[in-house]
Structure 1
Amino acid sequence: MQVGGAFIISNTRNENLTWKLGIYVNNELFGLFVMPLSGIDWRINARNNLFGILPGNLTYEHKINDHFYYGANFRAITNSYAKSNSYWRIDENQLGLYLDTYFNKNLVLNIEAGHSLFRKIRTGEKIFRKLMLK
């Protein structure tokens, strides 16, 4: 079983800017994963926004009109997968561009293109198996 979570506090400086700080903790197959978090939610002006929580994600968004938005995003993803008594860990950074088309308030078509940078794949033994065998 995998248990984890995040604790985030927000500081709203004004109606256009909110800062966020926190910590993410997760029990991954490779061990305890702890990561400090720093975030922003900034309405730069009526058409431009910057938001996200680093090191996980950051998005720039530009509003063309009420139905079309485009932007750029960054995502840092860490995944682990079980394989009998071992695991695979994948660390990946993604950069992308996107276009959102709003058909109505609840229906959005998202088109995204991007590339993975600095992908690293590691393997190892599951920690709980090591502890059980001792």
Structure 2
Amino acid sequence: MVNKLLLFLFLISPLLSNSQQYVDLLNISYYKSGDTNFTNSSKSTSISIFDSKITLPIVLNEKTALITGFDFNIKKLQLFPNSNFSNLYYTRLKLGFATDHSDKWIGTYVLLPILSSDYKNISSDDIYLGGIAVWTYKKRKNFNYKFGLYTGNEAFGFYITPLVGIYYISPNSGFEISALIPGLFDVNFGVSNKTRLGIDYKGNSETFKIQNDKALTTYLENNSLEFSSYLQNNSLDKNLLLRLKIGYSTNSYDVYAVDDKINLSITPFKFGNNRTKLNSELDYSAFLKVEAIYRFPISSK
């Protein structure tokens, strides 16, 4: 009974785990870029990001479980050449549930209230509301399909993101692939009992309200893509995964006037996007990232 409850509870979701074999209860990482140049300028900046994710599931019964937790990250960079470094804070609560619709279909539904700004004079203007729904079709015990929708409001307006993905792990667990496009993609394989090599991709999309001279006049929209290769080891503890990542990232930290919005965003398209960007483009940059994950294994029996 316990294994059945846990297996049901921790099914694939971008907010929980990308597989049916485990759930990541805690994920902490630190990201540091190399020099990142402003386009058409001799000036550059660096980007540092501290990121943490916590998931706290609560089993209600054999078919239903609550999903709770929160994400928190801090980004530090210069938004303009010669400007001071800005600190951008992002806090997202997770509250929802997972339910077993049938032997083949599982649904995960989560509300995502977000507080996102430079945290100066925090008000209701810094709060957004989003939500995600993901349906998993279990083709086989080691292979499934995923379909979903992520939607909500941001500083620029309303957005909708369709989701599609897969999960597969080989019978000997030597090869694993998990994806939920457009945001997540990971392929890894074992080189020993304690070590795995992998490549992954992560898409970030978020907005932050920014105070200027104690007035809310601008917001920042971040759309960045991270491509990396990584080395993973769990020698310290079988459930504690330590990763060292080296990669390359696009950098889109665009500043707009607070009332400069679009009509609608359906990823990857923006309709009525006649906004005027107030800062310079940032070039691509290399980055180094260290990550610690506490992973709870689940029996597949």
TM range (shorter): 0.7 to 0.9
1:101 matched to which residue of 2?
233
State the secondary structure of the residue aligned to 2:131: strand
State the secondary structure of the residue aligned to 2:193: coil
* Structure 1 residue ranges (4+ consecutive) displaced by more than 3 angstroms after TM superposition: none
| 1:66 Cα deviation after fit | 2.1
Of 115, 140, 160, which aligns to 1:14?
140
Give the aligned length: 127
CA distance in 2: counterparts of 1:91 and 1:73, whole angstroms: 17
Counting only pairs closer than 5 Å after superposition, residues 1-134 of structure 1 correspond to structure 2 as 1-46=127-172, 47-83=174-210, 84-102=216-234, 103-117=236-250, 119-127=251-259
Structure scoring higher RCO (CA < 8 A, sep ≥ 6) equals 2
Identity in percent: 21
State the secondary structure of the residue aligned to 1:85: strand
In structure 1, the gaps of 5 or more residues are: 128-134
Q: Residue deviations 1:28-79, cap 9 Å, x none? A: 1111121000011111452111102110010001112221011000111112
Q: Residue deviations 1:75-115, cap 9 Å, x none? A: 11112111122211011111100111102133221101100
In structure 2, the gaps of 5 or more residues are: 1-126, 211-215, 260-301
What TM-score does the superposition give when structure 1 sets the normalisation length? 0.86
Q: Which residue identity is paired with 1:31?
A: G
Bigger Rg, structure 1 or 2: 2
Q: Which residue identity is paired with 2:240?
A: L
CA distance in 1: counterparts of 2:246 and 2:152, whole angstroms: 29
Distance 1:114 1:45, change over 3 A: farther
Equivalent pair of 1:44/1:50 in contact (CA under 8 Å): no
What TM-score does the superposition give when structure 2 sets the normalisation length? 0.40
CA distance in 1: counterparts of 2:160 and 2:197, whole angstroms: 32
Greater strand fraction, Structure 1 or Structure 2: 1
CA RMSD, Structure 1 to Structure 2 (Å): 1.7
CA distance in 2: counterparts of 1:87 and 1:59, whole angstroms: 31
